[in-house]
Amino acid sequence: MAEIDFIYDGKDINILCNKNDKMKDIYEKFINKTQIDKNFIYYLYNGNKIDEELELEKIINDNNINKI
């Protein structure tokens, strides 16, 4: 299991997922948890926009909590 820490509107929102999950599936978990309109947000990791078709393991560099 991996834990992703989304930062939105100054708040940390934790989402549990698997390293082989596609980012679009992780985004859906985030949207379902927060009830945010997905048409008004975008996701950055290390300052770069994230391709939603990539698997989490292709993006993260270590096993620590990662911030998006």
Q: How many CB atoms are located within 10 Å of the residue 50 CB?
A: 19
**Distance separating alpha carbons of residues 31 and 25, to the nearest angstrom:** 10
Give the range of the structural domain holding residue 50, as residue numbers without chain letter: 2-67
**Distance separating alpha carbons of residues 27 and 66, to the nearest angstrom:** 14
Per-residue pLDDT tens over the stretch 53-66: 989 888 776 545 47
Answer for the pair 4, 12: CB distance below 8 angstroms, yes or no.
no
Q: Parallel, antiparallel, or unpaired: how do β-strands 66-67 and 2-8 relate?
A: parallel
pLDDT given for residue 4 in this prediction: 87
pLDDT given for residue 61 in this prediction: 62
Mean pLDDT of the chain: 86
Total domains present in the chain:
1
CATH of the domain at 55: 3.10.20.90
User: pTM, whole model, 2 decimals?
Assistant: 0.83
